[in-house]
Structure 1
Amino acid sequence: MGSQIYSPTPQFSSQFPKTKSRQVSSYASLQLKPRISIISSQQQPESTRVVTETAIPRTSTFNVDFKTFEACKLGISRYPDFVYNAQGGTGTGTGKRIESSNEISIDFDLEKLYIPPLTSATAKFLGLPLPPFLKIDIEPELLKGYVNQETGKVNLEFKAKFWFSVGTIYRAPPLLVDTLLTSEESKGRIREGRGQRLNGGGKCKLVGVATVEPIDDLFMNTFLSLPTECLANMNAKFSFSST
């Protein structure tokens, strides 16, 4: 009669259910994978929002208002920049949609365009207000261009005369500035700047580098090392309304 030996160790089947191990493996892999955040258009930083959020009228022609603010800069030659408070600058123009394009053409009325002068009350040089009686008037001669309502990109042709004066004692012939004010990058030989596109509130930063030619004034030509370059850096806001 044969005998049978029974092991005290219980015998387990090697066929375990795999559901739990798969869950653990799946959880571990999720913890190891990098997380990718997707930002919706509503979560985008204000500076990247498109211009359509500024409620541009759907009409083909509409009004455009322009304002300038503080924390602007103006620089010429290799001198440090003037820190310029342009609060109170205003302009009114007409906007027109360009068919089959995201661009809007804008043309400002020169009679309604005002840019504050640089004085001891509005400008500082090396941290100090401009000397008393020193004044730089800005006389615009042209401001027109294009705004891309999809990207917020702005390009405006800007021409102006800059008048330097010291009270009633001295008034130099005007410096002629002809540049492209842009929300992108403007770069010359010795001057450069980078702007910011229109955000959802219609605000932007426009920069422009221009070449300033000599004038009929030996003192100014020597003092400013003309011909040279100047840089304009303006904080501005555009508002759109139906005509």
Structure 2
Amino acid sequence: MACKLNSLEPPILCRLPAGTPSVFRAKTIAFSSYAPNKGDAVSTRLPKADTFSVSFKTLGACKLGISRYPDFEYNAGGGTGTGTGSKVADDADELSVDFDVETLYIPPLTSSTTKFLGLPLPPFLKIDIVPQLFQGKINPESGKVDLEFLAKFCFSVGSVYKAPPLVVKTVLTSDESKGKIRGGRGERLDEEGNCKLVGVAFVEPIDDFFMDSFLSLPTECLAELNAVITLSDSC
């Protein structure tokens, strides 16, 4: 995502106050202060360290969709995760990142976080998202993000019903993700680390008559997730 500024001067980096410890210094992804022509890569400054920490935060105004049903309006605000990153040896502009799934929390779909056709989910319906894998590549030079995401989606209705988990595997990308019946386009990292990640996944049947019939499994699902990704030097 390009940011349009009027200045044609070189980028001005953030100046840390005197006395700021140099052991741990946050890296912001600083974009150049000119509006690039169509097709030009947006210039950024790569972290100097070979290894660094990565943080991930989810925001509101997200969407989740499955089969041909209308999308769920999903407020994922409050989700967090941390991981580590390193420079890719054969590509000076690309970073490899691996998030610790033990630290990764994505809010469940409940009546307080999710709406369907403008109405909150029924009070006792809950869909927990249990991450199994979250890793991939980030290119601060262009803002492109591609993260492999594997998670279990666990449907339950109070203590009355609990379905076998739906296994969702996709690549959450800042570019376009397209299946046969679902598709979406993301937004690349801006200078503050904001991005929109989208991913289409094929979901297999789970041998549960109600869920397989209700969701028309096998089918496709779509995730559109607004997030903030930041990098910081390792200690």
Q: TM-score, normalised by structure 2?
A: 0.82
Pairing 1:130-169 to 2, within 5 Å after superposition: 130-169=121-160
- Alignment size in residue pairs: 202
Of 76, 80, 99, 2:70 maps to 80
Q: SS where residue 69 of structure 2 aligns?
A: coil
- How far off its partner does 1:174 sit? 0.3
Q: Following TM superposition, by how much is the alpha carbon of 1:100 offset from its aligned partner in structure 2, in angstroms?
A: 4.1
Question: Structure 2 regions of 5+ residues with no counterpart?
Answer: 1-5, 9-31
> Secondary structure at 2:187's aligned position in 1?
coil
Measured after TM superposition, the shift of residue 57 of structure 1 is 3.1
1:213 aligns with 2:207: no
Aligned to 2:220: 229
Deviations 1:159-218 (A, max 9, x none): 000001100000000000000100010000000000000011111000000000000200
Q: Distance in 1 between matches of 2:89 and 2:135?
A: 18
Work out which of the two has the higher radius of gyration on C-alpha atoms and give 1 or 2: 1
| 1:47-105 deviations in Å (ceiling 9; x for gaps) | x984735xx53100000000000000000000000000000000000010113411000
1:111 alignment partner, SS class: coil
* Structure 1 position 39, deviation (Å): 7.8
SS at match of 1:155: strand
Q: RMSD in angstroms over aligned alpha carbons?
A: 1.8
Higher helix share: 1
Does the aligned pair in 2 maintain the 1:49–1:200 contact within 8 Å? no
CA distance in 2, matches of 1:167, 1:241: 41
2:229 pairs with 1:238: yes
TM-score by length of 1: 0.80
CA displacement, residues 125-168 of structure 1 (integer Å, 9 cap, x when unaligned): 00011011100000000000000121010000000000011000
Fraction of identical pairs, as percent = 65
Please say if 1:190 is aligned against 2:181: yes
Q: Which runs of 5+ in 1 are unaligned?
A: 1-37
- When residues 51 and 63 of structure 1 are mapped into structure 2, their CA distance, relative to the original with a 3 A threshold, is farther
Task: Work out whether 1:105 is the aligned partner of 2:96.
Answer: yes
**2: CA distance, partners of 1:117 / 1:213:** 21
Q: Specify the code of the residue in structure 2 equivalent to 1:149.
A: P
Q: Which residue is equivalent to 1:34?
A: none
**Higher percent of residues as strand:** 2
Alignment partners' CA distance in 2, 1:232 and 1:51: 28
SS of the aligned residue for 2:102 comes to helix
Q: Is the counterpart of residue 122 in structure 1 residue 113 in structure 2? A: yes
Q: 1:66 matched to which residue of 2?
A: 56
Question: Does 2:184 correspond to 1:171?
Answer: no
SS of 1:52's equivalent? Answer: coil
